[in-house]
A and B are shown apart, each in its own frame.
Chain A
Amino acid sequence: EAEVAQSPRYKITEKSQAVAFWCDPISGHATLYWYRQILGQGPELLVQFQDESVVDDSQLPKDRFSAERLKGVDSTLKIQPAELGDSAMYLCASSSTAQPPYEQYFGPGTRLTVT
């Protein structure tokens, strides 16, 4: 079964440092999402790509977060500088928009701890 790949699985960094996460969606999935999930809450969308274009980054803190999907396949999410409040699980998901209901498939996530 095809899966969404993410790396690293765990990341510990000091505040003010830069950190980057990588995601490879399921082959053929044009839509890619980055979510942040704080413990005890549901995932919240940070950015959504359709192929290589950003279609929604309204919840992305753009002063410190950036995301790219240059060739419309894999994607990188970067935080610079990291803050203590960024500690969370960062989840990548992908979906095929060929037909409803647009089910999303999640990767295993990157658990970030900022010290």
Chain B
Amino acid sequence: RKEVEQDPGPFNVPEGATVAFNCTYSNSASQSFFWYRQDCRKEPKLLMSVYSSGNEDGRFTAQLNRASQYISLLIRDSKLSDSATYLCVVNRRYGGATNKLIFGTGTLLAVQP
């Protein structure tokens, strides 16, 4: 079983739709959580951090449930430019001060006109 699991998609949605991505992680030592966005053949870029209290950035809302080890990303009013792969990422501390990012395989979103 992978440490971070995501539905690979693809999610094909029309413009203006609301879409939700889910992610689960298996290691309870995970400390911080992120969503990264990766465009085709480009590098991953940080989209937003995820906090237990939930956080919102414009049309994007991220939620964390530590008890269920579950992370979500909600995108409202989808735009064509939202088409990308969304990577769920957890940061785990190990060996004292060392931190390691563990990436999911990503969920592909295709927003259709």
A42 within 8 A of B: yes
**Assembled-state Cα–Cα distance A111/B44 (Å):** 14
The stretch of A13-21, A60-68, A78-86, A100-108 in contact with B is A100-108
The 10 closest A-B pairs by CB, nearest first: A42-B103, A101-B32, A106-B43, A102-B99, A55-B98, A42-B105, A43-B103, A109-B43, A106-B44, A41-B105
| B46 surroundings in chain A (CB, below 8 A) | 103-105
| B4 surroundings in chain A (CB, below 8 A) | 42
B100 within 8 A of A: yes
Given A45-B101, A48-B100, A101 contacting B42 (CB threshold 8 A) = no
Contact of A102 among B42, B45, B91, B95 (CB under 8 A): B91
Interface residues of B (CB under 8 A from A): 4, 8, 31-34, 41-46, 49, 87, 89, 91, 95, 97-101, 103-106
| A50 surroundings in chain B (CB, below 8 A) | 98
Given A42-B87, A108-B43, A109-B43, A100 contacting B32 (CB threshold 8 A) = yes
CB proximity of A40 to chain B, nearest CB, Å: 7
**Assembled-state Cα–Cα distance A44/B102 (Å):** 7
Sample of 14 A–B contacts (CB below 8 Å): A33-B101, A40-B105, A41-B105, A42-B4, A42-B104, A42-B106, A50-B98, A56-B98, A91-B43, A101-B33, A101-B49, A102-B99, A103-B34, A107-B43
A27 within 8 A of B: no
| A102 surroundings in chain B (CB, below 8 A) | 32, 91, 99, 101
| B31 surroundings in chain A (CB, below 8 A) | 100-101
CB proximity of A9 to chain B, nearest CB, Å: 11
A97 within 8 A of B: yes
